[in-house]
């Protein structure tokens, strides 16, 4: 099964085995929440114990306190990456693992400020290590990837982060502008909770330098609402992300289901949608069987398929996610091929790499003649 994954949060994509190895390296003996509270009964050096913990996390994500549980559950993978070398190696290893699961190209994303909570380095050094991991995967193994720098929307604006009075948005956008090169793209994303009251339009000024530098931008928008009106993340947020931030892709975009006009706008602008139905269902926003992915495909939107947060939502790969959604959504192999092609056509890569990816996919599809 050939896939192309554009929306995968790096620290949430570490395998239990990778977390355990890092925990052993740094002699981490207690699992902690993001806020530092010890999680009883979890051995961070035992993959089975980690698996059991995340299975329990997944079951609780749709509860009323699901967002808090979700944020807490990032504490473990973040706490075991302690050095620039850890970050670089974990990016490298994850891209190789995704390729082994069928992904012809994988885009990882994450916030340098978040990693700095456990790595004693500047955000420039952290971003350079992440991008170096991507570069090594290509140079040493021929595995294609891109890194997308992100920041948390709730800490993005001045006054929102007590540790950073200026907010995270401006510095991360400046960093992306410095690091991005036309021959080695680095992307930019706004992630985090909640979408309201931190809509895309609030970040227009902060993202301007990245936009002017040609940094490819994707924005989490239209994720955190529930049908039929998607009040917590209305379709207008998606239109704003495109018009005011220059987004080329939208993370999730589920609330487009609530507006034919917004879908037409997205299609006319050639903006792509990174759908992650397993995650969306696990978070309690839209059940898999009601996810609008088939509607988007039928209307000709450029939709790709991703996992989002593999550890937390119990779906380690796009192939696994497709298997989970194919039945409920009535998707066949032709739909998977469209999703993969859409991913390749809207990946943040050079034209040369895109030609290579197209050839790779066609090669994989060629009938065996031997
Ligand atoms: Zn996401």
Model pTM score: 0.97
The reported pLDDT for the residue numbered 370 is 40
- CA–CA gap between residue 16 and residue 23 (Å, rounded): 10
Cβ pair 86, 22 in contact under 8 A: yes
Q: Which domains does the chain have, with CATH numbers?
A: 3-15+82-364 (3.20.20.140)
| Bridge partners of residue 302, in order along the sequence | 272
The reported pLDDT for the residue numbered 364 is 80
The reported pLDDT for the residue numbered 366 is 66
The reported pLDDT for the residue numbered 57 is 93
Q: Measure 280 CA to ligand 1 centroid, in angstroms.
A: 10
Q: Measure 109 CA to ligand 1 centroid, in angstroms.
A: 9
Q: Measure 44 CA to ligand 1 centroid, in angstroms.
A: 24
| Bridge partners of residue 297, in order along the sequence | none
What is the full per-residue pLDDT of the chain (370 aa) written as tens digits?
Answer: 899 999 999 999 999 999 999 999 999 999 999 999 999 999 999 999 999 999 999 999 988 888 888 999 999 999 999 999 999 999 999 999 999 999 999 999 999 999 999 999 999 999 999 999 999 999 999 999 999 999 999 999 999 988 899 999 999 999 999 999 999 999 999 999 899 999 999 999 999 999 999 999 999 999 999 999 999 999 999 999 999 999 999 999 999 999 999 999 999 999 999 999 999 999 999 999 999 999 999 999 999 999 999 999 999 999 999 999 999 999 999 999 999 999 999 999 999 999 999 999 998 876 654 4
- How is residue 255 annotated by DSSP? G
Q: Measure 8 CA to ligand 1 centroid, in angstroms.
A: 7
Q: Measure 368 CA to ligand 1 centroid, in angstroms.
A: 37
The reported pLDDT for the residue numbered 367 is 60
Cβ pair 104, 340 in contact under 8 A: yes
> Tokens at residue 354, please?
């895109």
Q: Which of 141, 59, 152 is nearest to 112 (CA)?
A: 152
The reported pLDDT for the residue numbered 325 is 98
Mind giving me the DSSP string for 73-95? TTHHHHHH--SHHHHHHHHHHHH
Q: Measure 152 CA to ligand 1 centroid, in angstroms.
A: 11
- How is residue 152 annotated by DSSP? E
- CA–CA gap between residue 87 and residue 82 (Å, rounded): 8
Q: Measure 149 CA to ligand 1 centroid, in angstroms.
A: 12
Say if residue 197 is preceded by a cis peptide, omega within 30 of 0.
yes
């Amino acid at each position: 099964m050939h896939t192309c994954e554009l929306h995968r949060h790096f620290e949430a994509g570490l395998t239990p085995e990778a977390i355990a190895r890092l925990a052993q390296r740094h002699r981490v003996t207690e699992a902690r929440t993001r806020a530092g509270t010890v999680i009883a009964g979890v051995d961070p050096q035992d993959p089975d114990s980690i698996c059991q913990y995340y299975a329990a996390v997944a079951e609780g994500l749709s509860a009323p306190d699901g967002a808090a549980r979700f944020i807490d559950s990032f504490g473990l993978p973040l706490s075991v990456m302690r050095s620039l070398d850890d970050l670089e190696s974990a990016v490298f290893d994850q891209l190789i693992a995704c390729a082994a699961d069928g992904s012809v190209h994988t885009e990882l994303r994450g916030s340098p400020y978040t990693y700095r909570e456990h790595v004693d380095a500047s955000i420039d050094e952290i971003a350079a290590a992440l991008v170096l991991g991507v570069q090594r995967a290509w140079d040493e193994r021929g595995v294609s990837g891109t890194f997308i720098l992100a920041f948390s929307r709730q800490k993005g604006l001045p006054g929102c982060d007590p540790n950073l009075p200026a907010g995270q948005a401006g510095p991360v956008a400046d960093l992306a502008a410095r690091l991005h090169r036309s021959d080695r793209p680095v992307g930019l994303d706004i992630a985090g909770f909640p979408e309201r009251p931190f809509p895309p339009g609030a970040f227009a000024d902060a993202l301007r330098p990245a936009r002017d530098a040609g940094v490819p931008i994707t924005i989490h928008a239209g994720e955190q609402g529930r049908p039929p009106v998607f009040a917590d993340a209305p379709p207008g947020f998606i239109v704003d992300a495109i018009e005011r931030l220059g987004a080329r892709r939208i993370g999730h975009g589920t609330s487009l289901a609530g507006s034919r006009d917004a879908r037409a706008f997205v299609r006319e602008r050639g903006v792509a949608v990174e759908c992650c139905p397993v995650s969306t269902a696990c978070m309690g926003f839209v059940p898999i069987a009601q996810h609008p992915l088939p509607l988007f495909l039928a209307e000709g939107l450029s939709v790709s398929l991703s996992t989002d947060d593999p550890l937390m939502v119990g779906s380690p790969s796009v192939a696994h996610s497709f298997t989970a959604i194919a039945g409920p959504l009535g998707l066949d192999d032709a739909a998977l091929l469209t999703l993969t092609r859409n991913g390749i056509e809207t990946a943040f890569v050079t034209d040369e790499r895109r030609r290579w990816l197209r050839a790779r996919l066609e090669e994989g599809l060629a009938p065996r003649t031997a």
